[in-house]
Structure 1
């Protein structure tokens, strides 16, 4: 417990005391800190030597010291442990800064990388339209009365390549979908504070 924590605890525990009497007692204990610091001793050591604020207040107040539970008495003096703020009090600030960090991470890395990956998939998927090459050759023959053996072989070859691109597009889609969902879940867990994920 440092000087500020010790003095705050003393002030809370001494609430039932008259203001002037309390101020004089607090000034005495503050003087102990001043003298100890001049001697080069750390605040924690000085606080340890002075004792627990709750016990000091109990002695100073005598019969006025009330050990009731919180809320049942306006003069209830909480212990130092009760005074300490719970760790969750910093949660809002941590969530705010985590959210800001995630926004910048997504703007700088996540969104551009995601768009690039999905653009690759779109190119592969659009190349799978080569399976329609035989249909184009048939329409060319039916409407334009134009038939070329080389065109037929190219259409059959393009059909095979289109099938390969369709299979690749399906696999790439599954992989990119899984990666995107994993990244979104990671964002969600990070925002909730589950940094182990």
Structure 2
């Protein structure tokens, strides 16, 4: 593989990045070829020493997506970072997707529980409307107490969500660095 083919393949692998970022990376790898030629190596030897441009592109994109998720932890950024991490290798399918599914399950169940506790007084009111003779103040008191517990659980889930997302993004960063050999 010659220099132009290598740089073209690398540029294709980095399509999600902006043109400015791709050009900066292209200049860095162009410099590798200049330094290699100064050492007396051929373009094919330099390209072989650098490795597969597709793999390099995947690694760069994974680092980019994880850093983007770390700076702004939105759902879309985290999903793109997970997908980029999985793309680094088959083993990452297990090492990234498994913890991600567990994290989503824990957070979803906590938020669903908090929401259902908060909405419990509505069930008492619906029951009183459908069956007027069965209303009891005790049921209303317990459902209001449950709603209060749901609000506390919601506050706890908010902070737990932020903490778990932060930890998962750090895990993704560690995983990407491990796969890259860092």
Under a length normalisation based on structure 2, what TM-score does the superposition of the two structures give? 0.49
Greater radius of gyration (CA)? 1
Greater relative contact order structure (CA < 8 Å, 6+ sep): 2
Under a length normalisation based on structure 1, what TM-score does the superposition of the two structures give? 0.46
| Higher percent of residues as helix | 2
